[in-house]
Each structure stands twice: as C-alpha cells, then as structure tokens.
Amino acid sequence: MNSILQQDLNDFENILEKTKQQGIDFLNNLENLPTSNNYSIEPKKELNELGLGSLGALAEFKQRLSPLLVSSPGPRYWGFVTGGSTPASVAGDWLASVYDQNTQSVTSQGGNSALIEFETINLLLQLLELPDSFMGGFVTSATMSNFTSLGVARQWFGKQFGKDFAKNGISETITILTATPHSSSVKSLSMLGIGSQNYTVVKTIEGNREAMDLVDLEEKIKALNGKPFILISSAGTVNTADFDDFKAISKLKEQYNFWWHIDGAFGGFAAVSEKYKHLVEGWEGADSITIDCHKWLNVPYESAFYLVKKEHINLQIETFQNSNAPYLGNPLENFNYLNVVPENSRRLRALPVWFSLMAYGKEGFCDIIEKSTLLALHFGNALIEQEHFELLAPIRLNNVCFTLKGNENQDKVNDFLIKLNDTGKVFMTPTFYQNKKGIRASFVNWRTTENDIKMVIEEMKKIILDIQI
C-alpha cells in the first residue's frame, strides 16, 4: 500500500474528526456567510507528485477552496427552490458515504441495501398520503425523475401502436400536451429523443394563472380523435406555485387514453399540510409523479425520487433493463434497480431521507411546509408595504414572484437584482412572467425566520436608493 494511503488509514479517526469540525464551523456560521461572492482561484495546472495526505488536502481546501463556497444551505438563499440540510439528513448523507453501498437488489449476495430504499419510498408514500399502488426509487434530481417517468411514458405510447420504442427506436410521432412545463421536463423530452419543441401547449386559465385551461385541454384531446397522448401537468409551477386541477384531469382519464405525468418537484409536498393538501386532490390517479427531496424535504443535493404505478412495471423494465448482464436473472422475479432506473451505479441515496423521516416525522415536515408558506406571505406583505415593489402573481404557496413597480422601471429590474445579490445577504433569481421582468423568492429552508425577511427588506430599500427609483 502507498505510504501516504497507509498513514491515512492509520489516522482515519483523526481525519474524520478534523473534517467534521470543518463542517461544523461552516454550518454554525451559515447566517454570517455570503449567499454569493466574487472570490476566484487560478486552477492548478499540475497534480502533486507525492500527494499531501488527507489532512494536507483538508488544509488546502480550507485555505484556498472553501472561500468559493456560499451559504446555499442557509436561511436567506431563496433561489432555485433550494432547501438546506437538516441535522438528521447530514448524518444520513455522511453514513451513506461511509457505508458506500451500490444500491441495486433486494436479494443479493452483494448486499440488499435496496430494502432501505423500498422502506423509504413506503414512508414517503405515507407522508404524501399516496396509495401503495405506486412503486418508486431514488435518482439525482427532478430532471432525472422526469426523465425516468417520461421514459416509461414513451414506452407506453409505443405499445399503443404495438411497437417497442426502447428496442427499436421511436417510429411514431409522440403527442405531448402540457401548459407550463418546467425546463427539466423539456430537457427530458430532448434526452428521450422526443424533441424539446415537440409538445403542444395547452392554454392557461385566464386571470394571472399558470394552470392549464381544462376547456382548451379537452378540445385538444378531442382533436386527436382517440389517439393516445402523454399529459405533463404541474403540482407547483416554478414562478407562482400554481397547480393544475387534478380532480378534473382524473375524470378526463376515465374517458380518454393517455399517460398522466405530474411534475410535483416541490409542490407535491403540499399534500403534507391539511391547509394545502386540497391542491393535490386527485393526483393519486396519475401514472407517474416527480418529487424532489433536496427542496422542501431539506436533504443534501442530489436527491429526488420518481413514482410510477406498479401496473407499469413491465414497461419500466423494458425501458431500462440492463439486458447485457444475464447474471442478474429474471428482472421480474429478482427485482433490481438497475432494470428500472437510468443509472447502473447507485449510492444509498435513500439514507438521508430515511434519517429525516425517522427524525422529524410527518408533524415536523408539516411544520416546515406551513412555516415556509407563512414566511412567503410575510415577505409578500412586506413588499406591498414598500412603494417601489409589486407582486406579479398571488402567493399560492411558497414562491413570491415580484418586480419593481412601474413599467418605466422594467429596465432596472436586472440591475436591482444583481446589486441585491452582490450584497451577499440574500440570493434570489430573475424570471420573466406575463411579459414582465421579475424576481422570484422561494421559501423552503427550515432555518429561515421573520428576522431574515426583515434584514432582506432593509437591504432592498438601500438598493432602491442606490439605483434612484
């Protein structure tokens, strides 16, 4: 064994202790760390010949690389619908690395850590009050969850014509109907060979809505004359957290032949709250659902899961089966995640979620969700009280979409946001909504408080003076 590697092995406990302290120092100082910075480095051009050892690498990381990192898990990082890691999820994530399992099979001589994933999916179904008619698994992100679900939908569509798209390629034009798809769904259509522009846009409801107009949807369905299609609907649109009418879509599904996919990356967690669960009423009728855990579940990146009805398991295996590995056996008799998801190599991604669900239970996550929505309303009200801001849409859940008041100030919106983000006190993202430049703040982080909102409003007032609105 290499001498430095041997030395690290002998000093493993000390290395982990020092690494733990580095992490604790970061987490304990989150509120004071910037949400963005301009720090930069000159990338190394030569690899060290002998190596520094783990402690040497840790020292260099702390001195040279850690200043690049921002407080994205912190209370005032309101961009990209990003949660922050809870203590339990950090513990689970650390142990996922320590145990370093390749999570594949439920009955394998190589280990059956997939049983942990099975249990975690079952707990999530209980959290979201969804029936056990769904099966699921963990992937890296909402993008890969949408990709997995729509991959099975693509196979379903081919079967309606007696064709196997997974084996022989797409040989029919796939019809997609959707109103306001997230970019990850569009990206999935591109990766699946369907085409990022090959979908039909359903009109949205009039009156500051992003949800699909059901009259227009049914007209487009009738125009297909009984041909199959795939419907992509939203449980929480990215700008305004709007929801499609799932009860009405469920009734349409009784009349027409289509695959129903719901992108519920963050909005699906409305099901956890008695106040907001009506927003997802009827979603149990979907064929597939996307949920993102590193958003409102507040676990570390990368963590999402897909849900697909069990009745479609054959289609899922046809889509993703690792057919070049005969030693894996019959994929139906010997369940293996290799045969139902895109990745062959899979870490135990379920463990941070399992720890979180065990630690905080349904009441804990209900508290996070309801607190987040209250904070969004609080921020919205604080904006309205200021003469220089206006809301672009009603606050339906946890996203606040707003802009500078007055059309004459539209050309100042980007400059305002850049200056605000450059303070390092808060991070929000630009958007474009109803032909206006806007700003979006998303509340999902378990650490955020009303004091954070007060601090941000004060910073915003300073920027307003600076750009002379």
Confidence of residue 75 (pLDDT cuts 50, 70, 90): very high
What tens digit of pLDDT does each residue of 400-417 get?
999 999 999 999 999 999
Pairing status of strand 200-201 against strand 304-309 = unpaired
Query: Percent of the chain having pLDDT more than 90?
Result: 91
What tens digit of pLDDT does each residue of 20-62 get?
999 999 999 999 999 999 999 999 889 988 999 999 999 999 9
Residue 448 has pLDDT above 90, yes or no: yes
Domains of the chain: 89-356 (3.40.640.10), 363-467 (3.90.1150.10)
What does the pLDDT read at residue 328?
A: 54
Q: What is the 3-state secondary structure (H, E, C) of 140-204?
A: CCHHHHHHHHHHHHHHHHHHCCCCCHHHHCCCCCCCEEECCCCHHHHHHHHHCCCCCCCCEECCE
What tens digit of pLDDT does each residue of 206-222 get?
999 999 999 999 999 99
Residue 85 has pLDDT above 80, yes or no: yes
Residue 352 has pLDDT above 80, yes or no: yes
What does the pLDDT read at residue 123?
A: 98
d(CA 129, CA 271): 7
d(CA 99, CA 112): 13
- Give the residue-averaged pLDDT of 126-133: 98
What tens digit of pLDDT does each residue of 100-110 get?
999 987 776 56
d(CA 100, CA 102): 7
- Which residues, listed in sequence order, are joined to residue 385 by a DSSP beta bridge? none
What does the pLDDT read at residue 334?
A: 77
Residue 325 has pLDDT above 90, yes or no: no
Residue 330 has pLDDT above 70, yes or no: no
How confident is the prediction for the chain on average, in pLDDT? 95
Q: What is the pTM of this model?
A: 0.96
**Which positions ≥6 away from 245 have C-beta within 8 Å?**
211, 212, 214, 282
Residue 323 has pLDDT above 80, yes or no: no
- Give the residue-averaged pLDDT of 315-319: 95
d(CA 337, CA 144): 14
User: How many residues are there in the chain?
Assistant: 469
What does the pLDDT read at residue 33?
A: 95
What does the pLDDT read at residue 324?
A: 56
Torsion of CA 329, 333, 334, 336, to 10 degrees: 100
* Cα 437 versus chain centre, distance: 24
What tens digit of pLDDT does each residue of 188-199 get?
999 999 999 999
Residue 213 in 3-state DSSP? coil
More confident residue, 324 or 333: 333
Residue 105: closest CA among 118, 114, 95: 114
Strands of the sheet containing 436-442, edge to edge, are 389-391, 399-404, 436-442, 429-433
- Give the residue-averaged pLDDT of 75-88: 95
What does the pLDDT read at residue 1?
A: 87
